[in-house]
Structure 1
Amino acid sequence: MKRLWGLLALSALCSVLATSPAPAQTSGPSKVKVGILLPLTGPFAAVAETQKQGALLAVDVINKKGGLDMPWGKVQVEGMVDDDEAKLDVGVRRYRYMMSEGVKGVGGQTWAPLSYAINAIVSREPMAYFPVCVMAKEAFQKGKIAPSTFAAAYSPWTVGYTAGTQAVKTLGKKKIFFLARSDSWGWDIRDGVYAAAKEHGAEIVGYDEASLGTSDFTTILQKVRAAKPDVFIAAQFAADSVALLKQAHQMGLNKDMTIFNAFITNVVAKGLPPEALQGVYAMHYFYYDLSALGDSGVAEKAAAFTKLFQDKYGYPPDAYAAIAYIAYMEMFRGFEQSKSFDAAKVAAALKADGGKFDSVKGPGSWREDNQAAFKYGAFLVKGKGPADRKGDWDLFTVEGSMGGDQILPPLKSLGY
C-alpha cells in the first residue's frame, strides 16, 4: 500500500511539473548588437545618413535609461553599422555577416529592392527585421512579407494616394499631369494617384515616365505645360526631385499650375534655392514642427524628439530619421515586451493588444500585413520662400494631414 501511495504521489508531482509554465529566463547577455545596414555611399547616401542618425539616437535613448529591461536585468545595446551600397549582392552579403556576428535584430535600407531581398531571407531564417525605407507594395502581399518583418513606413502606393487625395480634395485640383519614375517606386505612386483621382472625380490629362538618375527634364516639362493641368504631380525623389523642381522653377511652370512633389524630405528641400521651393506642395512622413497641426499632444512629442535629435546632431530630424527612430524603438519595445530576442516572440508581442503603439508622430498600430498605420500617416506641406523663413531649417508650413488604415492598400487587395 505504501508503494502504491508513493507511486501516486510521484505521478501527481510529474503531472504538476508538466503543466506548470516554464520558468522565466533568469540569465542572459548584458550587451547585444543590432544591425544598422544602409547605403552610406552611392546615390542615396544623404538620406541614409539621416536614417543612421535616427537609429543611433534610438540606441542612445535605450542605453541612457540603463539598457533594455529584460528578465535577467538591464541589457546595453550596440549599433553595428555597415554600408549596403544600394547593391543586392553587397547588401545580402553584409546582412549575412551581421547574422554571423550574432545581431538580435536588423534595420535599414533606403533602396526598396534590397529590403525585399532581405525580407525573403528573414522568411526562411527568422530575424527581427525593420526596414526603414518605403517598401514596394508587392512586398506586403500575404505570403511575401515575413512574419517578423515590420515596416514603419508604408508603400509608394500610399504616397501616391495621399498626394492625389490632397491635391484634389484639399487644393481643389481637377486636372492632373503625373510624372512617374520608371520602376516600382514610380508605378506604385502612379497607381495610388490614379486611385485617388478616380475616387474624388479628377482627370488625368497627361502622363510620362523618367528613369532613376534623369538630370534633364526639359522635354517632359514642355509636355506638361502643353497639357495645361491644374496640378503637376511628380514621383521623383532625392537628387532627381532636386533637378526636376529646379528646372520647373526656371521654366516658370509654377505660374501656370500647382507643383506637387509626391514625397519630400528636408534634405531635398535644402538642395533647392528657396525660390524654387516656394509654393511647392508635397507629402512629408514627418516634419519636426507640427505646432500648426492642431494636436498639442502630437506637437509636443515631435518637439521632444526634435530636441533630442538636435542636441545630438545640431539640426532638426528629417523624415527618414524619424522612420528609423520609430522602427528601432519598436524593435526594442518588441524585445522588452516579449522578454526575448526570439523573432517569433518579438513579432507576437508587437501584434498583441491590436498592435497599438505610440511614436514621435502620434499613435499607430501594426496591421495584419505588418505595415504601420498611423493617425497621422503623412503631412501635407507647402514650401516656404526666402521672405517667410525664420532660419535655415524653416522650410515648410504644415497644411494638413492624412492617416489611418484608409490611406493604406486594402488588406483584401494584398491577399488577406
Structure 2
Amino acid sequence: MKNKKLILILAAVLVVVVAAVFLLNTQRAAKPSTFKLGILLPYTGTFAAVAKTQQQGVLLAVEQRNAEGGLNMPWGKVKIEYEDMDDEANINTGVRRFRYLRDQGAHAVVGQTWAAVSLAINELCIRDPYPYFPVNVAPLDSYRKGKMGDCTYAAGYTPWTVGYMAGKAAITDLGKKRIFYLGRSDSWGWDIRDGLAAAAKKYGGEIIGQLEVAQGTSDFTTVLEQVRAAKPDVFISAQFGGDAISLLKQCYDMGLNKEMTIFNSFLTNVVAQGLPLEARENIYGMHFFYYDLTGFEDAETVKLAAEYSKAFMDKWGTPPDAYATIAYIAVQQLFDAVEKAGSFDQADIRRAIEQNPEFMSVKGPAYWREDHQAVYEYAGFLVRGKGRNEAKHEFDFFEVVSVQGGEEVYPNLKDLGF
C-alpha cells in the first residue's frame, strides 16, 4: 500500500514538473529573446552581382534596427539575428534551403533575385502561410488572386509596371511616339511588352516594331540593324544586367545613339558602371531608386533618400542601387509589421499590414495593395545617363529627369481577379 501511495505521489510530482516545463517553454516561445531572419539569395550564378547589392540592403536594415536596441515588442526589445544562405539561382536548392531556414526556427525569410525561385517558394507559402518577403521583380501572374501566400509581401513591382512606366515616360516626358521594342523571351520580356503596349495605347504612342531574344544573348548586331531600318523615335529594350551592358555598348558602337533615343526599361547603377562613359551618355531608362535626388520636389523624400544613401555609402563604399533598395524597404516593412503586430505569428503580421497599409519609404510614400504589392507614389525615376563632360565623380551616373508612379502605373486589380 505504501509503495502504491509513493508511486502515486511521484507520478503527481512528475505531471506537475512536466506541466511547468511545458508552460515555461510555451511562454519562452511566445516571448522569444531574438528575432531570427533568414536571408536567401543567389550569391553564385548569373545573378550574383545583383544578389550582393540585395544582401547589402538587408544587412544595413538589420544593423540599423539593432542599433536602436532591436524590435520594440510588448515584452521588451528583441535583437535580430540572421542566417544567410545561397539559393544558387536554382529552384531545387532554393526550396530546400528555404525549408531548412524555416525548420531551423527563422521567423521570416527575405530573398530571391530570380523570379522562378521566388515563385516556387511562394507556392510553399500558399499551402503553409509563412512570413516571406521576396525582394525581386516578380511576374504579373504571381499577383493574380489566389496566387500570393497569405503572408507573402513583395516590395518590388511587376515587369508590367516597368514597361508601362517606360512607355509613358518616353511618350509624355521625351515626346517619342514611334517605338521599337526589344523584349526577352520569358515572362520578364512579355510583361514589359504588355505594360508598354498599354501605355502606348493610352498616350498615343505606336510600337512600330518588336523583336525578342533569349536571356544571355551577347551579339545584337542583326537585331540592331533591324532597329536602324525601322527608324523609330525611341528604342526601348527589356535587357537587364550583363545583357543590358552588351546591348547598350553595341548601340553606341553602331552609332544608333545618334539616330534615335536609346531607352533601357529598367536601369541600375551596375549597368551604368559597366558602360564606357561615351556609351552611357544620354541613355534613358527607369530606375527604381536613384541615390541623388537633389532638386526633387518632395523635400521629405529627398531627406530620407539622402540619409539612407549616406548610411549605405558609409557602410559599403558605394551608393545604393535599385535592388539593394528593394531589399532594404522589404526588411524595414517586415520589421515594422512585426512591431505593430506585437507578435512573430504570420496571421498577426498579415493583420497588422492589412490594418496599416500605408508607409513611408526611402523613395517616398507607399502602401500595400490587396494583391500584396507595394504601390509607390514615386514608383520609377526617369534618368538620363551622364557622359564624360558631366560626371563629376565615379558614382555620378545619372540625372533624374522626372518620375512615374501611383496606382495608374500598376496593373488593374480587376484584371488580376480582385
Pick from 351, 354, 368: which aligns with 1:351?
354
Question: Is 1:53 equivalent to 2:56 in the alignment?
Answer: yes
Q: Is the 8 A contact 1:25 1:71 kept in 2?
A: no
What are the within-5 Å matches in structure 2 for residues 8-407 of structure 1? 28-353=31-356, 355-407=357-409
Q: Give the secondary structure class of the aligned counterpart of 1:123.
A: helix
Deviation per CA, 1:52-88: give whole Å up to 9, x if none.
0000111001100001011111111112111111110
**What is the rounded CA distance, in whole Å, between the counterparts of 1:333 and 1:234 in structure 2?**
36
Displacement, 1:386?
0.9
Count of aligned positions: 392
Give, in whole Å, the separation in 2 of the partners of 1:233 and 1:390: 27
Separation in 1 of the partners of 2:206 and 2:406? 26
- TM-superposed CA distance for 1:25, in Å, is 9.6
Percent of aligned positions that are identical: 55
User: Quick one: distance in 2 between partners of 1:25 and 1:148?
Assistant: 24
CA distance in 2, matches of 1:253, 1:78: 50
Alpha-carbon distance in structure 1 between the residues aligned to 2:30 and 2:415: 45
Q: Which amino acid aligns with 2:373?
A: Q
After TM superposition, the score normalised by the length of structure 1 is 0.93
Matched residue, 2:417 = 415
The alignment's TM-score, normalised by the length of structure 2, stands at 0.92
1:296: Cα distance to partner? 1.4
Name stretches of at least 5 consecutive residues in structure 1 with no aligned partner: 1-23
| 1:125 Cα deviation after fit | 1.3
Unpaired stretches in structure 2, ≥5 consecutive residues: 1-26
Render the CA deviation track for 1:73-114: whole Å, top value 9, x for unaligned: 111111211111111001101101101111011111110111
After superposition, what is the alpha-carbon deviation per residue over 1:218-242, rounded to whole angstroms, capped at 9, x for unaligned?
0000000000000000000000000
Question: 1:172/1:310 Cα in 2 relative to 1: closer, same or farther (>3 Å)?
Answer: same
Checking the alignment, whether the CA contact within 8 Å between 2:130 and 2:150 is kept in structure 1 is: no
Taking the aligned partners of 1:153 and 1:106, their CA distance within structure 2 comes to: 16
- String of CA shifts for 1:147-200, please: whole Å, max 9, x gaps: 211111100000000000000111111110000000000000000011111111
Question: How much does 1:26 deviate?
Answer: 10
Structure 2 letter corresponding to 1:122: C
Question: Match for residue 17 of structure 2?
Answer: none
Report SS of the residue matched to 1:363: strand
The residue aligned with 2:3 is none
2:14 maps to none
CA distance in 2, matches of 1:348, 1:31: 22
Aligned letter for 1:256?
Answer: E
Question: Does the 8 Å contact 1:26/1:71 carry over to 2?
Answer: no
Q: How far apart are the structure 2 equivalents of 1:125 and 1:161?
A: 34
Residue 293 of structure 1: CA displacement?
A: 1.7
Question: Deviation per CA, 1:7-59, whole angstroms, max 9, x where unpaired?
Answer: xxxxxxxxxxxxxxxxx999611112111111111111111000000001110
Ranges of 4+ aligned residues in structure 1 off by more than 2 Å:
24-27
CA deviations over 1:351-408 (Å, ceiling 9, x no partner) = 214x101110111000000100111111000000011011110000000001111110
CA contact (8 A) 1:25 1:72 kept: no
Q: Aligned partners of 2:231, 2:113: CA distance in 1, in Å?
A: 34
Counterpart of 2:393, as a letter, is G
Aligned alpha-carbon RMSD (Å): 1.2
CA gap 1:25/1:356 in 2 versus in 1, 3 angstroms: farther
**In 1, Cα distance between the equivalents of 2:334 and 2:177?**
42
Any idea what SS the aligned residue of 1:292 has?
coil
Shift of residue 203, structure 1, vs aligned partner: 1.1
* Counterpart Cα distance in 2 of 1:231 and 1:72: 58
Aligned equivalents of 1:246 and 1:77: distance in 2?
Answer: 43
Quick one: distance in 2 between partners of 1:26 and 1:132? Answer: 28
